[in-house]
Structure 1
Amino acid sequence: MLITLKETKEYLRVDGDEDDSLIESLINASEEYLKNATGKTFNSTNPLARLFCLVLVVDWYENRGLTAGKVGDKIRPVIDSMLAQLNYCYPEERVE
């Protein structure tokens, strides 16, 4: 797991545990999105991969009624830039 529920909730500024299940689902989806988009598996020591997942989770969480799992238009350029860097600048990192 690249990012934890605790750090994601801190990044989102979410208190309480009512949305924990949703946030965990978004974390898993963001990591799968990254893997599918790059064809690589990153570990939790890669700061750009971690930030990518956090940004994606925040966008999906805050815009869940509007985008239904799609990346929002405002962060699309940021996500695209991060994906390009993760795809071409980092070798694959595997955690067994």
Structure 2
Amino acid sequence: MILTLEEAKKFLKVDFDDDDDEIQDCIEAAEEYLKDATGKEFTIENKRAKRYCKILVNEWYKDKGLMEEEKRQKRVRFSLQTIMTQLKYGD
């Protein structure tokens, strides 16, 4: 596990429990995505993997329709791509 539900809710600034299942689904999908993309398993100690999952969970949770202004999408994609490259080829 890279990211806990509590960490994700804090990052998302969610202080209610109604969306816990949705947030947990986003966490699990983000961790699966990271594993499939890098071929590596990451733990909660890896700060870049944690940041990657937080960003991805935020994008998926906040923008369920995946419709967002182009400038923000490009910035997020660049951040995720940079972190992914480091995770894929780093230790």
Q: CA deviation at 1:89?
A: 1.2
String of CA shifts for 1:52-94, please: whole Å, max 9, x gaps.
0001000111111235xxxx4441111110000001112xxxx
2:70 corresponds to:
none
TM superposition score normalised by structure 2 = 0.89
Q: In 1, are the aligned partners of 2:3 and 2:50 still within 8 Å (CA)?
A: yes
Distance 2:10 2:66 in 1: 23
Q: In 1, are the aligned partners of 2:60 and 2:66 still within 8 Å (CA)?
A: no
String of CA shifts for 1:28-72, please: whole Å, max 9, x gaps.
0000000000000011111000110001000111111235xxxx4
Distance 1:86 1:15 in 2: 31
SS across alignment from 2:42: coil
Greater helix percent: which structure? 2
Query: Which runs of structure 1 show a deviation greater than 2 angstroms over 4 or more consecutive aligned residues?
Result: none
SS across alignment from 1:64: coil
TM superposition score normalised by structure 1 = 0.85
Tell me the C-alpha RMSD between the 2 structures.
Answer: 1.1
Superposed, which structure 2 residues align to 1:1-96 within 5 Å? Answer: 1-66=1-66, 72-90=73-91
Distance 1:6 1:80 in 2: 25
Aligned length in residues? 86
